[in-house]
Amino acid sequence: MIAFKKFIKKLIHNAQKCCWPVAVQSRFLTRLYYCFFDRSFGYEQQALLKAKLAYFRNGGVQEKSSSLLRRNIHRLEKGLIMEPRRDLFALDYIQETVETFVKASKSEGFSTSELNWAFSVLTAYFNAIKLSNSIVKKAQKIFLSVESLERDNCKPYCSESRVNHDVSYDSLLALSKARRSTRWFLDKSVEAEKLEKVVSVASQAPSACNRQPFEFVVVEGESFRKKVAKLPGGTVGFSDNIPCLIAVVGDQSYYPMDRDRHVIYIDSGLASMQFMLAAETLGLSTCAINWPELEKLDEQVSKLLKLPQYKRIVMFIALGYAKPKGGIPFSDKKTAEQLIYYVKEND
Ligand SMILES: Cc1cc2nc3c(=O)[nH]c(=O)nc-3n(C[C@H](O)[C@H](O)[C@H](O)COP(=O)(O)O)c2cc1C
């Protein structure tokens, strides 16, 4: 039966291959190809539509956070630090911003730090802008209807006031070299406090408009963890040996525009990198695990992890204490010379 399935798969793949030279001739033919000969993107496209629907249904406010509020507050901060700063800006989205702020402030369990940030920046905006403008006046009236928040110190500041650090180039290089994908772990669980520390570093990563559309879902319970760890094909041979399994999940409803459909992967990837380096500083080791875009697997994992279709698995991360005698592949790295490429106009 397995051999027969493999044979059919190969047959389909070969038939698809024959279509490629024709399908690439125009975008229309490419679309036809993906419509009739290859359904690989079907599930993902449906997820994108579900994400749009979720975004517009909830007005850009997710459970404890709001992608719309985060985006607009970020845009206001950029307006406030602009050199030179304009007398009037954000007229096209200030009302939407204050309305979302009001909605968020009434939403139970909404992140207080996000509200404080929004409150601080909106206060700074209304202090900086010409209040005589009718759009600004109207927005300010809505803003003032919300009770003043305790903290008002989350607004733009000067570069020289940034947090100091004592990480040298050499120590960062050493940390980068020390981090190696680890597949053999001690039978020892990862402390929740350490995981929180690791995620706190991951949270400092850049993300588009500071939306931070990711979550780190910890798969709990030994047998459940083993079951989930088997889903991504890349864990063959070591799936039973992962003491802590994290699903990095990107919420596609944070980016309702098709043009931004890849951003959850970029944001989550950057945060995951910081996650993995932070783990290393606490004596923990990691292995990123690929999540293939396969409809059946997606359906299975969504069911198991109780995720709506628009929350996408970006990758898994295996986390734990490395077994000292466990093997590590050498994994040669490309040199900077290989990776840097300069380009000039008219080259
Ligand atoms: C997105 C991504 C997916 C990966 N998927 C797997 C995987 O499924 N199984 C695995 O054993 N390693 C996986 N790895 C680990 C890579 O094999 C590893 O990063 C690479 O060989 C370089 O080795 P290093 O991480 O030790 O530098 C993945 C890494 C990344 C970044």
Whether residues 11 and 43 share a domain: the answer is: yes
* In a domain? residue 207: yes
Whether residues 193 and 137 share a domain: the answer is: no
- Confidence (pLDDT) at 346: 86
- Confidence (pLDDT) at 150: 67
* In a domain? residue 346: no
Whether residues 218 and 313 share a domain: the answer is: yes
DSSP for 257-324 reads SGGGTTHHHHHHHHHHHHHHHHHHHTT-EEEEEE----HHHHHHHHHHHT--TTEEEEEEEEEEPBPT
Whether residues 85 and 44 share a domain: the answer is: no
Whether residues 183 and 309 share a domain: the answer is: yes
* In a domain? residue 341: no
Helix (H/G/I), strand (E/B), else coil: 162 = coil
Whether residues 192 and 294 share a domain: the answer is: yes
Q: How many other C-beta atoms are found inside a 10 Å radius of the C-beta of residue 128?
A: 16
CB 262 within 8 A of CB 228: no
Whether residues 89 and 130 share a domain: the answer is: yes
CA distance 170 to 71: 35
- Confidence (pLDDT) at 347: 66
Whether residues 146 and 181 share a domain: the answer is: no
End residue of a domain, out of 121, 155, 189: 155
Helix (H/G/I), strand (E/B), else coil: 116 = helix
Mutate to test the pocket of ligand 1, among 175, 274, 290, 330 (most ligand atoms within 8 A of CB): 290
Domain range holding 34?
2-57
* In a domain? residue 299: yes
* In a domain? residue 325: no
Q: Rounded to the nearest 5°, which phi and psi values hold at 312?
A: -100, 140
The secondary element (H helix, E strand) that includes residue 36 is helix 27-36
Tokens read off for 276: 């993995």
The residue nearest atom 8 of ligand 1, judged by CA position, is 234
Whether residues 31 and 109 share a domain: the answer is: no
Whether residues 95 and 192 share a domain: the answer is: no
- Residues with CB under 6 Å of ligand 1 are 180-181, 183, 232, 234, 287-290, 315, 331
Q: Structural domain tally of the chain? A: 3
Tell how far the Cα of 288 is from the centroid of ligand 1, in angstroms. 5
Mutate to test the pocket of ligand 1, among 175, 177, 179, 181 (most ligand atoms within 8 A of CB): 181
CB 20 within 8 A of CB 60: no
- Confidence (pLDDT) at 181: 98
Tell how far the Cα of 315 is from the centroid of ligand 1, in angstroms. 10
DSSP for 301-315 reads HHHHHT--TTEEEEE
CB 305 within 8 A of CB 260: no
Looking at the CA of residue 235, tell me the nearest atom of ligand 1. 9
CATH classification of the domain holding 192:
3.40.109.10
CA distance 7 to 3: 6
Whether residues 204 and 146 share a domain: the answer is: no
End residue of a domain, out of 124, 155, 186: 155
* In a domain? residue 340: no
**Average pLDDT by consecutive 10-residue portion of the chain (347 residues)?**
88 93 96 92 94 95 94 98 96 97 94 94 94 93 84 88 96 98 98 98 98 98 97 96 98 96 98 98 98 94 97 98 98 98 89
The identity of residue 307, as a single letter, is L
* In a domain? residue 329: no
Residue 273 CB contacts under 8 Å (≥ 6 apart), including other chains:
205
End residue of a domain, out of 57, 80, 100: 57
Give residue-wise pLDDT tens across range 272-319. Answer: 999 999 999 999 999 999 999 999 999 999 999 999 999 999 999 999
Tell how far the Cα of 273 is from the centroid of ligand 1, in angstroms. 12
Tokens read off for 75: 């845009």
Q: How many other C-beta atoms are found inside a 10 Å radius of the C-beta of residue 137?
A: 12
* In a domain? residue 215: yes
Whether residues 8 and 129 share a domain: the answer is: no
